[in-house]
A and B are shown apart, each in its own frame.
Chain A
Amino acid sequence: MSNKNRSVQTVVATGIGAAIIFVLMKFIAIPTGISNTQVNVAEGFLPLLAAIYGPVAAGLAMFIGHSLNDFVTYGSPWWTWVIVDGLVGVAFGLFKRQLDIQSGKISAAKLVLFNVYQIVVNFIGWVLLAPTGDILIYHEPASKVYLQGVVTWLLNSASVAIIGTILLILYAKTRTKRGSLKKEK
């Protein structure tokens, strides 16, 4: 596929990816009772988007989807979290090469490695970056934002570990190896 074509694909994947993220956030987020935190199915979709279309599409799609969702539910986006979410998308996208999901072969080892990676990424994002941003920008009490951060870290990692992993496996199954499709009698 030519490069120009791929860039169009990235634009479309960003746009439609963001639309999916928006719809998932809006309709199937399961609230946990701690404000701002929910089991987010959209987070589980992110690794797949990232594995297929790479860091730019995943990062931007999350950024756009999340800010739109904030816009229409809370009136204005909570920028620190929106940005961190975008960065998590970028980080997942950086793992695209290693996963190489288009090959259709995705071994258990690769999946374990990816899960370790995502837990670390989520930790950096939700326990280190987001709360620090909240303290710096919004001046909220540290204990509150760190608790929110830790809960979000756990929930998002779980969401990626369960939903994300299953989606990766199922998608890989739909990829066909070169020259493999033959009619069977």
Chain B
Amino acid sequence: MAEPLISFKDFSFKYDSQAEDTLKHIDLDIYPGEKVLIAGASGSGKSTLGRVINGLIPHAYPGTISGSCIVNGKEVADSSLFDLSFDVGTVLQDSDSQFVGLTVAEDMAFSLENDQVPQAEMRSAVTKWAKTLQLNELLKNSPQEISGGQKQRVAMGGVLIDESRILLFDEPLASLDPAAGLASMELINDLATKQNLTVVIIEHRIEEALHANIDRLVVLQDGEIVANDKPDRILVSEKIIELGLREPLYLSVLRRAGIAIADCQQISHAETITNPAIAKSLKSWTRDVKLNQADEKKSNLLELQNIKFAYDDGKNVIDNVNLVVHRGEMISLVGQNGTGKSTLSSLITGFLTPTNGKILFAGEDMAELSVKERAEKIGYILQDPNQMISKTTVFEEVSSGLVLRQIASKEIQGRVNKILKICGLYEMRHWPISALSFGQKKRVTIASILVLDPEMLILDEPTAGQDFRHYTEIMSFLEKVCADKDLTIILITHDMHLMLEYTMRTIVLDAGHVIMDDIPAKVLTNADVLQRASLAKTSLYTLAQRFGLPSADDFVAKFIESERRAR
């Protein structure tokens, strides 16, 4: 067998500010040409592992190392960051911060500039990679002018241009729309094969990441490797679920229908999984499950009438949107990157003012209300948690809204602690926010709004960067409040599973228009809408189609129903 390209031997690492090791006795070999997926709960040390591979640890993060990590023959601790960067190209989670140039072309050429490559050579390299990554049209655009998916491709271009042998991605899917995410994974797979690259992907969304034809799945828990094998072998057992991660949805449905995964072949894709019994069992399972009738319509809470809005450049980002949200509904708002979802929520919460149209809340026109007054009715959790956090510790942050409302400190203690427990932050309540991972920060912002008990909530990408356990805890909690207190919730999301499982109604936004407003299962069977809004049908539909179920809608609806009952 070939020499491993990356090799961890009894490797441990402790950040200076931490009391305990974040990585514990890691033994891991990655061979040339492999595609490895690293999964694990939030805070389990995935990003930390990635930082060791690209040398940021120990060169940019102070801490204590024991054991060894060798990348392409170099001991990480003894080589400079620059030397390592020739071997490992890193695409950071935040592709916006990685974009340091003023235009796409400059950013792609950045590392070549630093290597003093002559201009003519840089131009031809940029042209070559722009063509491969379909960025030709955008070479002169600034980072503010391109979508999230495009930014990520620019980031890939910027590291591919180095021709390094190892590519490292930290949560490439977190803020991409489903179609862009899939395209990204396919691109990675394609490039890896063509250029013979070794790829390490850190990602929560296992099912989507598997589209890159992953060769090996490594699962971390509390800084230790708890699983390390071919994806098929790990997915067979229910280990993934026990570890608090999400198994691919098609596997869950098969299990529910009573099929033993162990008897199936090629289980890592919904397109390939086979077993003679599947078709029959699915059909009979579908027949047996009964659907509950949808609830009666409730009273109108929020009404948007002919809303239009344009930013300074004059193009209507929101164009004549009409919408009614009923009290107690949990709605998902979906659509392509950059289509105007966040803009629409800013209009509702008064962060922006529509150029045309009316917004009514419980029948009352909101035009006259200030941001603060609206916020008392509608809590808004922004996409980027950093934009909301203004205090230094977790507890202070979550309690700040209550303090401003002059609530007695005893009551504050109680309410804040309760919400912190629900959001899985109680143990870290005295930590400075700067020591939290992205997923943890996002939960802090959710907690700090939830604690205020608003009538309606708008959550922008609540599950981005969350692991399945916390995701389920937060969503179940929201579902419960929604039912108990008639809380109305709008979720903005790129996660089709979230949309299917938790929301009763989906609004699809495209180019400023609402192009569909229906139950999620219907949205996912409308090929035209899927394509226009850059959504992806989930693996459930693939199953329904492959095994000839009479109605895909009905099948999906029933699966979701049974999932809900199981919760």
Contacts and interface: CB of A to CB of B under 8 A. Distances in A.
Complex: A in contact with B (CB within 8 Å)? yes
Interface string A141-185: 000000000000000000000000000001001111111111111
Interface stretch (B13-21, B367-375, B453-461): B13-21
B81 A2 contact: yes
Given A2-B81, A4-B82, A174-B434, A182 B62 contact: no
Given A174-B432, A179-B17, A179-B19, A2 B427 contact: no
Tell me the interface secondary structure of chain A in the complex. Answer: loop
B62 A1 contact: yes
A184 B427 contact: yes
Interface in B394-445: 427-435
Given A173-B392, A176-B431, 11 more contacts: A1-B60, A2-B81, A4-B82, A5-B59, A5-B60, A174-B434, A176-B17, A178-B16, A179-B19, A183-B428, A184-B430
B80 interface: yes
A180 B392 contact: no
User: What 9 pairs between A and B have smallest CB-CB spacing?
Assistant: A183-B427, A176-B17, A174-B432, A173-B392, A179-B19, A182-B19, A174-B392, A174-B434, A181-B18
Given A2-B80, A4-B81, A181 B431 contact: yes
A1 B427 contact: no
Measured as residues with beta carbon below 8 angstroms from the partner, the interface class of chain A is 10 to 19
Contacts of B432: 173-176
A179 B19 CA distance: 4
A132 B427 CA distance: 58
A182 B434 contact: no
Contacts of A181: 17-19, 431, 435
Nearest to A171: B392
Contacts of A178: 16-17
Interface of B: 16-20, 59-60, 62, 80-82, 392-393, 427-435
A91 B431 CA distance: 33
Contacts of A1: 59-60, 62
A44 B16 CA distance: 30
A150 B393 CA distance: 39
5 contacts: A4-B81, A4-B82, A177-B17, A178-B17, A181-B19
Interface of A: 1-2, 4-5, 170, 173-185
B244 to A, nearest CB: 16
B392 A170 contact: yes
Nearest to A185: B427
A184 B430 CA distance: 9
A20 to B, nearest CB: 14
B100 to A, nearest CB: 9
Contacts of A179: 16-19
A182 B433 contact: no
A174 B433 contact: yes
Contacts of B435: 176, 181
A25 B93 CA distance: 31
Contacts of B82: 4
Contacts of A174: 392, 432-434
A182 B59 CA distance: 24
A175 B431 CA distance: 10
A152 B428 CA distance: 44
A170 B431 CA distance: 14
B81, B429, B431 — most chain A CB neighbours (10 Å): B431
A15 to B, nearest CB: 9
A16 to B, nearest CB: 10
A87 B419 CA distance: 48
A173 B435 CA distance: 12
Contacts of B433: 174
B81 A5 contact: yes
A174 B434 CA distance: 7
Contacts of B20: 182
A178 B18 CA distance: 7
B162 to A, nearest CB: 17
A2 B17 CA distance: 18
B139 to A, nearest CB: 23
Nearest to B393: A173
Contacts of A5: 59-60, 81
Contacts of B17: 176-181
A145 B150 CA distance: 52
A175 B17 CA distance: 9
A159 to B, nearest CB: 20
A5 B16 CA distance: 18
B59 to A, nearest CB: 6
Contacts of A180: 17, 19
A60 B59 CA distance: 26
Nearest to B16: A178
Contacts of A175: 432
A17 B411 CA distance: 40
B420 to A, nearest CB: 11
B297 to A, nearest CB: 46
B392 A184 contact: no
A175 B62 CA distance: 14
Contacts of A176: 17, 431-432, 434-435
B62 A184 contact: no
A184 B59 CA distance: 30
A179 B59 CA distance: 19
A2 B19 CA distance: 23
A176 B81 CA distance: 25
Contacts of A185: 427
Contacts of A170: 392
Contacts of A184: 427-430
Nearest to B433: A174
A4 B59 CA distance: 10
Contacts of B19: 179-182
A179 B80 CA distance: 26
